[in-house]
Structure 1
Amino acid sequence: MASTTDRWTEQDIPAQDGRVAVVTGANSGLGMQTARALAEHGAHVVLAVRNLDKGREALARISERAPGAKLSLQRLDLASLKSVRAAADELHAAHPKIDLLINNAGVMFTPRQKTEDGFDMQFGVNHLGHFALTGLLLDLMLRVPGSRVVTVSSFGHRIRADIHFDDLQFDRSYNRVVAYGQAKLANLMFTYELQRRLAPHHTTIAAAAHPGASDTELTQNMSGLARKGAELVQPLLTQPAAMGALPTLRAATDPAVTGGQFYGPNGMGGTRGYPEVVTSSKKSRDTTVQQRLWAVSEQLTDVRFSV
Structure 2
Amino acid sequence: MAGSILITGANGSLAIPAVEHLLRNYPDHTALLTVRDPSDTDPNTNKLRQVISRYPGARAFIYKLDLTSLSDTHQFANRLSQDIKTEKTSPLKSILCNACYWDLVADSELTEDGYDKTFQTNHISHVALVLGLLDRFAPDGGRIVLFSSEAHSPGRAILEKIPPAIPDDLDLLIKPTVHADKGAAGFHRYGNSKLVITSWTHAFNRYLEKNPSLQNITAVAYNPGGLVDSRIFDKNTSLALSLLVRYIVQPLLPLMRYANPQMRLGAESAVDAIELALDHVYPGERGYFELLQKDESSPESRDEVKQERLWVKSAEWAKINKENTALHSAFK
Q: TM-score, normalised by structure 1?
A: 0.85
Query: Does the 8 Å CA contact 2:205/2:219 hold for their aligned counterparts?
Result: yes
Displacement of 1:169:
2.4
* Residues 22 and 279 of structure 1: CA distance in aligned 2, closer, same or farther (over 3 Å): same
How far apart are the structure 2 equivalents of 1:233 and 1:56?
26
* Residues 118 and 213 of structure 1: CA distance in aligned 2, closer, same or farther (over 3 Å): same
**Could you tell me which amino acid in structure 1 is paired with residue 113 of structure 2?**
D
* Residues 296 and 288 of structure 1: CA distance in aligned 2, closer, same or farther (over 3 Å): same
Q: Give the alignment partner of residue 114 of structure 1, picking from 106, 110, 115.
A: 110
Query: Does the 8 Å CA contact 1:99/1:144 hold for their aligned counterparts?
Result: no
**Could you tell me which amino acid in structure 2 is paired with residue 31 of structure 1?**
A
Which residue does 2:13 correspond to in 1?
A: 29
How far apart are the structure 1 equivalents of 2:118 and 2:176?
13
* Residues 61 and 113 of structure 1: CA distance in aligned 2, closer, same or farther (over 3 Å): same
Kindly report which structure 2 residues correspond to 1:8-157, keeping only aligned pairs within 5 A, or say none: 18-40=2-24, 41-42=26-27, 43-53=29-39, 54=42, 57-96=46-85, 97-110=91-104, 111=106, 112-141=108-137, 143-157=138-152
Which residue does 2:201 correspond to in 1?
A: 191
Query: Does the 8 Å CA contact 2:21/2:271 hold for their aligned counterparts?
Result: no
**4+ aligned runs moved over 3 Å, structure 1:** none
Which residue does 2:326 correspond to in 1?
A: 306
**Could you tell me which amino acid in structure 2 is paired with residue 233 of structure 1?**
V
Query: Does the 8 Å CA contact 1:211/1:246 hold for their aligned counterparts?
Result: no
Query: Does the 8 Å CA contact 2:201/2:287 hold for their aligned counterparts?
Result: no
Displacement of 1:247:
3.2
What residue ranges of structure 2 are gaps of 5+ in the alignment?
86-90, 155-162, 180-184, 257-262, 328-332
What residue ranges of structure 1 are gaps of 5+ in the alignment?
1-16, 266-274
* Residues 246 and 276 of structure 1: CA distance in aligned 2, closer, same or farther (over 3 Å): farther
Q: Tell me if 1:281 matches 2:298.
A: yes
Q: Which moved more, 1:88-97 or 1:219-228?
A: 219-228
1:105 aligns to what SS in structure 2? coil
Displacement of 1:154:
1.0
Percent identity over the alignment is: 27
1:61 aligns to what SS in structure 2? helix
Query: Does the 8 Å CA contact 2:103/2:186 hold for their aligned counterparts?
Result: yes
Which residue does 2:157 correspond to in 1?
A: none
How far apart are the structure 2 equivalents of 1:172 and 1:221?
19
- Aligned pair count? 281
Q: Show CA shifts across 1:256-297 (max 9, x none).
A: 3334232233xxxxxxxxx32233211111111111011111
How far apart are the structure 2 equivalents of 1:259 and 1:196?
13
How far apart are the structure 1 equivalents of 2:196 and 2:74?
21
**Could you tell me which amino acid in structure 2 is paired with residue 247 of structure 1?**
D
How far apart are the structure 2 equivalents of 1:242 and 1:216?
10
How far apart are the structure 2 equivalents of 1:301 and 1:63?
32
Query: Does the 8 Å CA contact 2:35/2:45 hold for their aligned counterparts?
Result: no
Q: Give the alignment partner of residue 225 of structure 1, picking from 240, 248, 255.
A: 240
Q: Which moved more, 1:151-160 or 1:224-233?
A: 224-233
Displacement of 1:74:
1.6
Q: Show CA shifts across 1:164-212 (max 9, x none).
A: 3421224432511110111011111121111111113332111121221
Which residue does 1:241 correspond to in 2?
A: 266
**Could you tell me which amino acid in structure 1 is paired with residue 8 of structure 2?**
T
Query: Does the 8 Å CA contact 1:79/1:124 hold for their aligned counterparts?
Result: yes
Which residue does 2:307 correspond to in 1?
A: 290
How far apart are the structure 2 equivalents of 1:227 and 1:58?
22
Q: Give the alignment partner of residue 216 of structure 1, picking from 225, 230, 237.
A: 230
**Could you tell me which amino acid in structure 2 is paired with residue 68 of structure 1?**
G
Q: Tell me if 1:251 matches 2:276.
A: yes
**Could you tell me which amino acid in structure 2 is paired with residue 39 of structure 1?**
L
1:245 aligns to what SS in structure 2? helix
* Residues 101 and 124 of structure 1: CA distance in aligned 2, closer, same or farther (over 3 Å): same
Q: Tell me if 1:172 matches 2:177.
A: yes
How far apart are the structure 2 equivalents of 1:25 and 1:82?
17
2:202 aligns to what SS in structure 1? helix
Query: Does the 8 Å CA contact 1:210/1:247 hold for their aligned counterparts?
Result: no
Q: Tell me if 1:204 matches 2:212.
A: no
